[in-house]
Amino acid sequence: MAKIPGNPCTSSCPIKRAMDILDGKWTMLIIRDLLGGKKRFGELRYSLEGVSPKMLTQRLKQLEEEQIIRKISYPVMPPKVEYELTEKGHQLRPVIESLAVWGNELI
Amino acid sequence: MAKIPGNPCTSSCPIKRAMDILDGKWTMLIIRDLLGGKKRFGELRYSLEGVSPKMLTQRLKQLEEEQIIRKISYPVMPPKVEYELTEKGHQLRPVIESLAVWGNELI
DNA sequence: CTGAATCCAATCGGATACTG
DNA sequence: CAGTATCCGATTGGATTCAG
C-alpha cells in the first residue's frame, strides 16, 4: 500500500487543508473549465449551467483570494473580464484528472 | 496539454458526477481515513476531531448508499461497527493522493 | 459504543431584478 | 457584459441529550 503524504486527519492534515479550499458544489467544475484556458464570466456561467451569478461570483472571489485563479479586467465598455488559473491552480490538474477517471467509471 | 477524459461541464460531466458524491466537509477525510484500513465509528469520530455524531452518521450513510464504503456490524454488546472501503472506494486513492500532494504544497 | 433525536446557527444555493 | 442586491428555501454543520 502506497504511503499517503502527510499526517493523519487532524487540523493540519493536507487533505483537510485542500478541502477547506476546494469544497463546494461548483469549485472543482470551475477549475476544470479553467484548465482548458482563460474563460469569461459569461462562459463559465454558461458551461456550469445552473449556477446563479451570486454563487459564481462568490466562488470566483474565494478562489482568487486563495490565489488559485487570477482575474483580468479589461477597462472597456461593455465590461470584459477573464479568469485564468495561477500556477497553484494548474497544479490541481492531477486532482481533476483522477477525479475525472473515477467519475467516468460511475456511469 | 493532457486531455481530460469526459465531456465539458454539463450535467453529465464526470467531475460533476464525482463531486455530487464527494462534496461535503468531511467526505474526503473519511475516505482518507479508511484508506488506512477498517475503522470503527469512534475511531473516525476521534480522528476527524470536531465532527458531530450526526454529521458523521449522515456522511457514512450516504457513502454506504453510494457503495463507496461498507458497514460491518457485529452483534455484540456493547455494539461494534466497522467501516471499510469497497472497491469503488479504493479507486479513490489516486484522488486522495493527488489532493494530499497539493495540500502539502500549500503550507 | 453506536448512533438517533432535537434544536439552532450559518452557509449554500437558486431565482429574480437591477446597475454601471 | 459582469456583476450586485435581495429574498427565500434547503442543506450543512455544531452542541447536546438520550437510548439500545
Range of the domain at A44: 14-106
Q: Quick check: B19 contacting A, CB < 8 Å? A: yes
Cell numbers that stand for B68 in this block: 463507496
More confident residue, B27 or A13: B27
A55 occurs within a structural domain: yes
Cell of B59: 456522511
Domain membership flag for residue A81: yes
Number of domains in chain A: 1
* B8 vs A contacts (CB less than 8 Å): 33, 47
Is the full-model pTM beyond 0.75? yes
Upstream peptide bond of A5 is cis (omega within 30 degrees of 0): no
Would the CB atoms of B15 and A28 count as touching at under 8 Å?
yes
Closest residue of chain A to B5, computed from CA coordinates: A100
Digit-coded pLDDT (tens) for A4-51: 444 455 557 899 999 999 999 899 999 999 999 999 999 999 999 889
Q: Give the pLDDT of residue B11.
A: 54
Helix B27-35 with A14-22: angle, nearest 10 deg = 150
Does some domain include residue B18? yes
Chain A positions in Cβ-Cβ contact with residue B6 (cut-off 8 Å)? 100, 103-104
Assess if residue A37 is contained within a domain.
Answer: yes
CB B53 within 8 A of CB B6: no
What is the average per-residue pLDDT within B76-82? 95
Contact B47, A9 (CB under 8 A): yes
Interface of A with B in 71-100 (CB under 8 A): 88, 91-100
Q: Answer whether residue A84 is part of any domain.
A: yes
B54 CA to D17 C1', in Å?
A: 12
Instruction: Look at residue A8 and tell me if it is in a domain.
Output: no
CATH code for the domain of A32: 1.10.10.10
| Residue B69 grid coordinates | 464504503
State pLDDT tens for residues B39-60: 999 999 999 988 999 999 999 9
Element (H, E) at B81: strand B80-85
A84 CB contacts (<8 Å, ≥6 apart)?
A34, A37, A38, A39, A69, A70, A72
Mean per-residue pLDDT of chain B: 90
In tens, the pLDDT along A58-88 reads 999 999 999 999 999 999 999 999 999 999 9
Q: Which of B32, B85, B90 to mutate to test the interface with A (most CBs of A within 10 A)?
A: B32
Give domain status of residue B71, yes or no.
yes
Question: How much is the pLDDT for A2?
Answer: 47
Residues of A in contact with B2 (CB under 8 A): 93, 97
Judged by CB atoms closer than 8 Å, whether chains meet at A98 and B101 is answered as: no
